[in-house]
Structure 1
Amino acid sequence: MAGFSPEWLALREPADHAARNPQLLAAVGAFFAAKPSLSVLDLGCGAGANLRGSYAVLPERQHWTLVDHDADLLAVARERLVGWADEAREQGEELVLAKDGKTITVDTRQVDLDKDLDWVLGWRPDLVTAAALFDLTSKRWIERFVAALASQKLPLYTVLTYDGRENWKPAHRSDARMLAAFKHHQHLDKGFGPAAGPEACDIMAEAFRKSGFAVSTADSAWLLDEGHRDLRDALARGITDAVRETGQVEPAAIAAWLEARQAAASARIGHQDLWARPV
């Protein structure tokens, strides 16, 4: 699976938290409101941003298992969670955090989600969650994942799955060509087979519905204005790097698009959140 730098994850985290759909998050919280404690499995956890974005609506006692293929990112996650918490201490291999009146224990595991998915889901958490993950996985992997959750009646809350919508302002003559080439790149193998890319959320929702789950989806687009210039710049550079790899747009057009995007007034980048639960 392709990796992401701690710097990129830190840059995007405020935009991710702002974009997360509040109604869907509240629905997840309401579903677990009667439980005094909750065990959560966070897939592809990166630097731990999903925990920081979700914890507030969940029960007072939470146990999170953070899973990622990248051992360095797991170390960064632990470090950032310690800095974020009101109080933190180590208890064996676990972190015990206090935050806003909640007690959160955290365990980190280095796992290959392509090879070890069934083993990980065998831990039987109360909730499976992920952020900005499933557009990297393949249709076949998603269907296998949903089947595994359905067999154990495990709910899933996932946020910020890229859905292919982009609206940069002002418009540029190469926007359509750049987006088409970028979407082509999004379908390349990211470690799970040919990636589902922008279709991932729809594929997952359909698979859950066929399995008899109740499914809710909601918009969680990034709204990037002048206050997000560094993120917009990094995003534009990442898009141009991906487009160059496809060879579908000539270098001069890529360079002109990048220059225009670095001076853009705003950008709306489409994402979807999904909440699926057994009925």
Structure 2
Amino acid sequence: MGFSAEWLSLREPADRAARDGPLAQQAAKAAGPNPLVVDFGCGTGATWRALAPYLPTGARWRFVDNEPALLAEAGRVAGENAELVEADLGEMDALPLAGASLVTASALLDLMPEAWVADLARRLDVPFYATLNYDGRMSWAPAHDDDAAVTAAFNQHQQGDKGMGPALGPNSADRTIALFEAAGFMVLSADSTWLLGPDKAPLQRELTNGIAQAANEAGAREAASWGRHRHAIADRTTCHIGHIDILALPTGNLQESTHVLR
């Protein structure tokens, strides 16, 4: 399980625009006055770039990823307050949680199995801020007759084994909320849907290439032609890709919020 720096760079502006600002500020507040943020699947440091403006000067970060090149880039941009840990995210016992005041993950939970999230919920006694969890919703304008079939096949593919067991895929937000609530957390959530217009045509093309490939692997015979069509009209298309941001607060660290509980 891994992503290229090029893909992460291409999607980051859409991620930044979609993240819920008030929930990010709530997460930063919950991290406390002298935070150590442990970022799972840090990539090139997108969560640091999004959250750092809300954190105190000198906040420390512990970046965790299984890709050395991505870790090195995250460390380069974050500077001396960042610690780099190369680790297999699937090995929960090896994940460096000691001293954390906030644990974060972006665009990760839909790739993980339910047992992993349940184990994390049992182990954590600090806030958990997980953003950009894909929730299965896609819509396109102009529409295509095969949109629904390709989306269904893609969502099925997303629940396949990514190396650690069947992934949560589009169920990641709902199941994470339920698991953390069962572990005694208060869970806040907010919509973080991607809105990709014609100005994001390069991202749309990469996205629809990946969707078509995954849907084809899941048995959607129309996926290849759908992908070619979407690629061709990306500069005339607007699409919405559903995501949900989550902040789970342990009962000893509850903060006032205007967000509605899901």
Task: Specify every segment of 5 or more residues in structure 2 that has no aligned partner in the other structure, as ranges.
Answer: 252-262
Secondary structure of 2:2's partner? coil
**Alpha-carbon distance in structure 1 between the residues aligned to 2:70 and 2:24:** 25
1:229 aligns with 2:204: no
Task: Specify every segment of 5 or more residues in structure 1 that has no aligned partner in the other structure, as ranges.
Answer: 83-94, 97-104
Match of 2:85 in 1: 109
Match of 1:47 in 2: 44
**Alpha-carbon distance in structure 2 between the residues aligned to 1:23 and 1:110:** 31
Match of 1:278 in 2: 250
Q: How does 1:23-42 map to 2 (within 5 A)?
A: 23-32=22-31, 35=33, 37-42=34-39
**Alpha-carbon distance in structure 1 between the residues aligned to 2:224 and 2:208:** 15
Match of 2:183 in 1: 211
**Alpha-carbon distance in structure 1 between the residues aligned to 2:223 and 2:102:** 45
Match of 1:190 in 2: 162
Equivalent position amino acid for 1:138 in 2:
P
1:72 aligns with 2:48: no
Q: Is the 8 A contact 1:236 1:262 kept in 2?
A: no
1:124 aligns with 2:99: yes
Alpha-carbon shift at residue 257 of structure 1 (Å): 4.1
Provide the TM-score with structure 2 as the length reference: 0.90
Alpha-carbon shift at residue 76 of structure 1 (Å): 2.7
Q: Is the 8 A contact 1:121 1:148 kept in 2?
A: no
Higher normalized strand content (fraction of residues): 1
Secondary structure of 1:238's partner? helix
Secondary structure of 1:61's partner? coil
Equivalent position amino acid for 1:13 in 2:
E
**Alpha-carbon distance in structure 2 between the residues aligned to 1:147 and 1:232:** 38
Q: Is the 8 A contact 2:199 2:235 kept in 1?
A: no
Post-superposition CA distance 1:16-57 (Å, at most 9, x none): 111100121122233346x1x210100001111110011111
**Alpha-carbon distance in structure 2 between the residues aligned to 1:216 and 1:252:** 38
1:167 aligns with 2:143: no
**Alpha-carbon distance in structure 2 between the residues aligned to 1:246 and 1:145:** 29
Q: Is the 8 A contact 1:181 1:249 kept in 2?
A: no
Q: 1:261/1:4 Cα in 2 relative to 1: closer, same or farther (>3 Å)?
A: farther
Provide the TM-score with structure 1 as the length reference: 0.85
